[in-house]
Structure 1
Amino acid sequence: MSAEHDTHESHEGPIKTPRQLIWTVVASFVVPIVTIILLVNFVASGDKPAAGSEGLSAEAIAQRLAPIGHVEIRDASGPAVVRTGEQVYQAACTACHGSGAAGAPKTGDTAAWAPRLTQGYETLLNSALKGKGAMAAQGGGEYSDYEVGRAVVYLANQGGGKFEEPAAPAPAASAAN
């Protein structure tokens, strides 16, 4: 009889009482429902950027969609605004001459400017207009040659130079003659 008893025990399941059956049935419905609710909450909990990427942020998208350039329409008959040497320096020269980037002599560094000042104003102006070394040509750009000349005087005088402000160009002859 012990052989029959061993075979009978091996065919029994893990549920032995009606109470265990009820708990198993309830758990088989509740656990999947709770899991589904937790997954839905996780997915719908908000925007999650990709790991290590800000490429889809509003700022990044706006930057990619920004126009490459712009058109500025000016009144040709309007008065010309002539900028001071300091204004041109702040707008075009300070990036390199303020920090000494790309070998540019720093503003106010008299030792670095001394050999350049001995070359004279015309040579320095020519270098600024046509470019020299890593410095891009400034002539023909946003600033007139006169404004670039004023910036050269401003920058050179900060480095110990005693240059005079260049003379203002004569106004263009009017076409009404």
Structure 2
Amino acid sequence: MSDVHQENDHHESPIKTPKQLIAVVIAAFLVPIIVIVLLVSFVGHGTHEGAGSTQTAEAVNHRIQPVATLEIKDPNAPRVFKTGEQVYKEVCAACHATGAAGAPKHGTPGDWTARIGQGFDGLLKSVMNGKGAMPARAGTSPDDYTDYELARAVVHLADAGGAKFPEPPAPAQAAPAQAAASAPDAQAAAPAAPAAA
């Protein structure tokens, strides 16, 4: 029996009094809470600014601008044609700036040598009808870009590749817009003539 008593003495609990038990229970609750509070204060240390507060007013306005805008154009106003460089940047640069899908790179004479040999008309025909991965009219509609604007883009691209193509001639302004603009003047002049007589 003394062997059993010696075994029990060997496995005694470190908590011997009720005060020690209370201290251990309180510590079991307080220690994790203190650790959590310290972690939160460590992670949250420093100043945090709201989203976008370090951006300039212009950057914020750009970020929150509407996705689409409505632009109303006067149908009688003369059309302002885009330059070849503008059309290149808006339409052609997606492929011609990088050489994607085998497109000749802008400003690389070696890519353009054979193509320039076709002449301006041959290059313009390729743009209008499509060639390789490039769709007809470079994927644009006549409402977005006129034939003249696409021709200016051809000159811009080819000249950057070593050609010396002249700028294509500008189309004449639409006669209906001019006729409509002069018609009210003629009508206003007609009533004034009888009044003067």
What is the TM-score of this pair, normalised by structure 2? 0.62
Residue in structure 2 matched with residue 70 of structure 1 by the alignment: 68
- Of 28, 35, 38, which residue of structure 2 is paired with 1:38? 35
Identity rate of aligned residues, in percent? Answer: 42
The equivalences for 1:157-168 within 5 A come to 157-168=159-170
One-letter amino acid matched to 1:75:
K
Name the counterpart of 2:92. Answer: 93
Give the equivalent residue in structure 2 for 1:143. 145
Structure 2 runs not aligned, ≥5 long: 45-50, 53-64, 184-197
* Greater CA drift, 134-143 or 110-119: 134-143
Return the alpha-carbon distance in structure 1 between the equivalents of residues 78 and 174 of structure 2.
13
1:27 aligns with 2:29: no
Distance 1:71 1:16, change over 3 A: closer
> Gaps spanning 5+ residues in structure 1: where?
47-57, 60-65
Residue 108 (1) aligns with residue 107 (2)? yes
Separation in structure 1 between the aligned mates of residue 15 and residue 117 of structure 2, nearest angstrom: 106
SS of structure 2 residue aligned to 1:135? coil
The residue identity in structure 2 corresponding to 1:160 is G
- Judged with a 3 Å threshold, the aligned counterparts in structure 2 of structure 1 residues 82 and 14 are, in CA distance, closer, same or farther, namely same
Quote the Cα distance in structure 1 between the aligned partners of 2:85 and 2:15.
Answer: 94
Q: CA deviation at 1:41?
A: 6.2
Q: Is the 8 A contact 2:87 2:153 kept in 1?
A: yes
Higher helix share: 2
TM-score by length of 1: 0.68
Q: Distance in 1 between matches of 2:15 and 2:159?
A: 100
Aligned-pair CA distance for 1:40: 6.3
Q: For 1:143, give the aligned amino acid.
A: Y
**Aligned-pair RMSD on alpha carbons?**
3.2
Matched letter for residue 100 of structure 1: G
- In 2, Cα distance between equivalents of 1:157 and 1:26: 88
In 2, Cα distance between the equivalents of 1:70 and 1:125? 32
Q: Distance in 2 between matches of 1:107 and 1:15?
A: 83
Shift of residue 70 of structure 1?
2.3
